Amino acid sequence: MKLPEGLAGVVISETKISSTKDAILTYAGYPINELKDAPFEEVVYLLWHKKLPTESQLKEVRHQLVDEMKLPDETIRLMKYVALEPQHPMSILRTTVSLLGTTHNDVRRDQPLKILSKMLTAIAAIIRLRDNQELMKVNPQWGVVENFMYLFTGKRPTPSQVSMFNTVMVLHADHEFNASTFTGRVVASTQADYYSCLTAAVCALKGPLHGGANEQVFKMLEEIRHTGQKPIDYVNKRIAAGKKIMGFGHRIYKDGDPRAKILRGIAEQIADETNNSVYFNLQEQIRDYMFEKTHLHPNVDYYTALIYHCLGLDKSTFTTMFAACRTAGWLAHIMEQQSDGCLIRPSSEYVGPTGRHYPGHEKENQKK
């Protein structure tokens, strides 16, 4: 019996959160292209409650999220200690999420809102601490996206930047049963706490085949620019060596990732505004040639790599930014799985050796 690799095409559960059916991404039934300009807080509410909030509900959610965008002093102290060691930011995030579970773990109904706020603040703090920069404090008059950008850049973003990054966060908020979400749901099915589930999701996202592609995309762009290679020559050398061109192809979207189509315009605009058009032009050349040679389209990681760079982020922190955006979706799935109450426990097909006996038991088994 031939088994599907990586559970491809296997439906293991039902969900009301998001769908990629027919290669169309929807959140609770709403197409992503209609939600791309919706406030991030509104999309969070939609993912968690499966309906859009009223004006007063949206205002309350925004207020609660911003109000909780601060970390316990003990958490900050320990984060500073962890950040002293030279390690990947995702390793620091993994430890930090687990740490948050020991310094902030109440069981009140609004816990997911608080956890999302703490996650955003912690990720911004990781970015600042790695560069020995002071931690910033939120402005209660600003929204979640504007405050988050201020926390990790140290500068108030322009309205245009807030609008663009809001779309980035919305597009990354959820994506059905991807590797990290499924990992979180497996842990949630054991009725483990939120932080244990999120820690597991972060660990899955850390792997380069899932969340690390954006970092590799910008590494590629830097290498092409600094060596003076022609993009086509670079691509051909990689392919000839049996290596992947990161940021292309998707298991679900064979005719192009709908998120990438939206992000392309944002990447072009922000690259122009920050004098980084040279990178966008490289991306366009690679995109055209990759389609001509392999018929593969860019995925969500391809353009976010350039967007994050234009916001002043080091490429090693790109995946932590992915985690910041995806936490809303992770929490939605954790809540849904816990309410389902079913333990996820699949079976496997054993293909190893059989009929073996431990030394000294051969005769005993021959008598049977």
Q: Please check whether residues 96 and 184 belong to one and the same domain.
A: yes
Q: Please check whether residues 128 and 226 belong to one and the same domain.
A: no
Q: Please check whether residues 237 and 118 belong to one and the same domain.
A: no
Rounded Cα distance, 290 and 293, in Å: 5
Rounded Cα distance, 223 and 55, in Å: 48
Any idea which residue has 């967007």 for tokens?
307
Catalytic machinery residues: 250, 301
Tokens standing for residue 62: 């925004």
Asked if 306 contacts 149 with a C-beta cutoff of 8 angstroms, the reply is: no
Q: Please give the C-alpha separations between residue 247 and each of 32, 36, 102, 189, 303, in angstroms, as whole numbers.
A: 20, 21, 36, 32, 8
Residue 360 inside a domain? The answer is no
Q: What is the CATH number of the domain that holds 156?
A: 1.10.580.10
Residue 46 inside a domain? The answer is yes
- Which pLDDT does position 209 carry in this prediction? 78
- Which pLDDT does position 4 carry in this prediction? 76
Residue 43 inside a domain? The answer is yes
- Which pLDDT does position 236 carry in this prediction? 95
Instruction: Name the domain count of the chain.
Output: 2
Angle subtended by helix axes 111-130 and 144-153, to nearest 10: 20
Residue 303 inside a domain? The answer is yes
Q: What is the CATH number of the domain that holds 256?
A: 1.10.230.10
- Which pLDDT does position 10 carry in this prediction? 78
Q: Please check whether residues 330 and 281 belong to one and the same domain.
A: no
Q: Please check whether residues 201 and 266 belong to one and the same domain.
A: no
Asked if 295 contacts 255 with a C-beta cutoff of 8 angstroms, the reply is: no
- Which pLDDT does position 8 carry in this prediction? 76
Q: Which of 277, 300, 315 is the last residue of a domain?
A: 315
Asked if 278 contacts 310 with a C-beta cutoff of 8 angstroms, the reply is: no
Q: Please check whether residues 119 and 234 belong to one and the same domain.
A: no
Quote the domain boundaries for residue 289: 213-315
Q: What is the pLDDT along the chain (368 residues), one digit of tens a residue?
A: 677 777 877 788 899 999 999 999 999 999 999 999 999 999 999 999 999 999 999 999 999 999 999 999 999 999 999 888 889 999 999 999 999 988 755 555 559 999 999 999 999 999 999 989 999 999 999 999 999 999 999 999 999 999 999 999 999 999 999 999 999 999 999 999 999 999 999 999 998 778 888 999 999 999 999 999 999 999 999 999 999 899 998 878 888 899 999 999 999 999 999 999 999 999 999 999 999 999 999 999 999 999 999 999 999 999 999 999 999 999 999 999 999 999 999 888 899 999 898 898 876 666 65
- Which pLDDT does position 83 carry in this prediction? 84
